[in-house]
Amino acid sequence: MKKASAVLLGGLATAAPVAASLTVFLDPLQRKAAAGGFVKVASVEALPDDGMPRKFSIIADRVDAWNKVPNVPIGAVYLRKSAPDQVEALNVVCPHAGCFVDFSKERKLFGCPCHNSSFALNGSVSDPKSPSPRGLDSLDVEIRNSSEVWVRFQNFVAGHGEKIPVS
């Protein structure tokens, strides 16, 4: 019994530092390049005047502790003109479990193909039976030089009722 306890305690004493160093070592792999930064996405003229959304890729540099890969897709957003001089951005990732949502122009709804969550044009949950715990994640938008749409691209943790940024 004494020997078994010593082996167990020894194993625990070894496992904790190994787990901690692995977490530190692998952390850069989990960082997103453009998290929190504004990215030029489109021109205002590229958006329909009828308020319907259009999907755009987010192209930015992907950087981690070891590599920098310039100009690669790191995500996607739906942009729409909510007023003549106002643009809204929604992350395409479903907050339930991370699938990409589609948009139906006929139904004027976003729909998730994985578990049938549906979202209104403004991103709010449309069908109360939707499993998504929150609406689609809105993103900050700036119109620069009168016509450029810049988006502060960010992913958020899936499965939570609140928007928790993925670092």
> Site residues (CB under 6 A) for ligand FES?
94, 96-99, 112, 114-115, 117, 131-132
Q: Is the dihedral of CA 161, 162, 166, 167 positive or negative?
A: negative
| Closer residue to ligand FES, CB minimum distance, 33 or 101 | 101
Strand order in the sheet with 86-91: 54-63, 68-83, 86-91, 138-139
| Closer residue to ligand FES, CB minimum distance, 32 or 134 | 134
| Closer residue to ligand FES, CB minimum distance, 75 or 141 | 75
Q: Which of these, 152, 27, 156, 13, lies nearest to 87 by C-alpha position?
A: 152
Shortest Cβ distance from residue 75 to ligand FES (Å)? 16
| Closer residue to ligand FES, CB minimum distance, 91 or 117 | 117
* DSSP category for residue 18: H
Tokens of 108: 């004027």
> ∠ CA(78), CA(82), CA(84), 5° rounding?
120
Shortest Cβ distance from residue 2 to ligand FES (Å)? 51
Shortest Cβ distance from residue 148 to ligand FES (Å)? 31
Shortest Cβ distance from residue 159 to ligand FES (Å)? 9
